[in-house]
């Protein structure tokens, strides 16, 4: 019984360790500008927060919203799309949590689903 419990706990620990990285970074871009070349961590976090504040709210089925944040002489393009077949509401906090996962996992931006929403973040040269 003790051995079986140890095996179950080992498997659960492996799932917890592997799970987030296997899910979160599937849609990383492999070329283009990096977040490090676009701005500081504080600038990127502030831009993501402002973009998510603007994109929060109600989304019709298939609906999307986008924002562009200028950081110095560079920019980040952000977008969110409702992938569900019904209207959904996105909170700024949920948006920022998903964008933060992607920013930390994908240095050149990404497209990735989190729940019923698809998030896109793309650092670029040039202003909005």
Q: Identify the pLDDT of residue 6.
A: 39
64 found inside a domain: yes
Q: Identify the pLDDT of residue 26.
A: 57
- What total number of domains does the chain contain? 1
Q: Does residue 115 surpass a pLDDT of 70? A: yes
Q: Rg of the chain's alpha carbons, rounded to an integer?
A: 17
DSSP state of 108: T
Q: Identify the pLDDT of residue 21.
A: 34
CB of 58 closer than 8 Å to CB of 10? no
12 found inside a domain: no
CB of 74 closer than 8 Å to CB of 124? yes
7 found inside a domain: no
27 found inside a domain: no
Q: Identify the pLDDT of residue 124.
A: 97
Containing domain of residue 106, as a range?
41-125
First to last CA, the chain: 61
**Structure token pair of residue 83:** 């992938």
CATH code of 86's domain: 3.30.430
Q: What is the pLDDT of residues 61-113, one digit of tens each?
A: 999 999 999 999 999 999 999 999 999 999 999 999 999 999 999 999 999 99
Q: Identify the pLDDT of residue 17.
A: 33
Q: What is the pLDDT of residues 6-41, one digit of tens each?
A: 343 333 333 333 333 333 445 999 999 999 999 999
Q: Identify the pLDDT of residue 37.
A: 97
96 found inside a domain: yes
17 found inside a domain: no
9 found inside a domain: no
Phi-psi region of 45 (alpha: psi -120 to 50; beta: other; left: phi over 0): alpha
Sheet holding 117-125, edge to edge: 64-71, 74-82, 117-125, 110-114
The total of other beta-carbon atoms located within 10 Å of residue 74's CB is: 19
Interval 46-59 mean pLDDT:
99
45 found inside a domain: yes
Q: Identify the pLDDT of residue 83.
A: 95
**H or E element that contains 120:** strand 117-125
């Amino acid at each position: 019984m003790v051995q079986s419990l140890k095996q179950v706990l080992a498997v659960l620990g492996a799932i917890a360790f592997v799970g987030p990285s296997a899910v979160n970074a599937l849609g990383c871009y492999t070329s283009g500008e990096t977040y490090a070349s676009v701005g500081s961590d504080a600038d990127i976090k502030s831009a993501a927060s402002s973009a998510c504040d603007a994109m929060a709210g109600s989304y019709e089925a298939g609906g999307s919203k986008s924002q562009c944040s200028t950081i110095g002489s560079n920019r980040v393009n952000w977008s969110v799309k409702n992938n569900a077949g019904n209207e959904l509401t996105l909170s700024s906090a949920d948006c920022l949590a998903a964008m933060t996962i992607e920013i930390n996992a994908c240095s050149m931006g990404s497209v990735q689903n989190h729940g019923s929403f698809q998030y896109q973040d793309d650092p670029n040269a040039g202003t909005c």
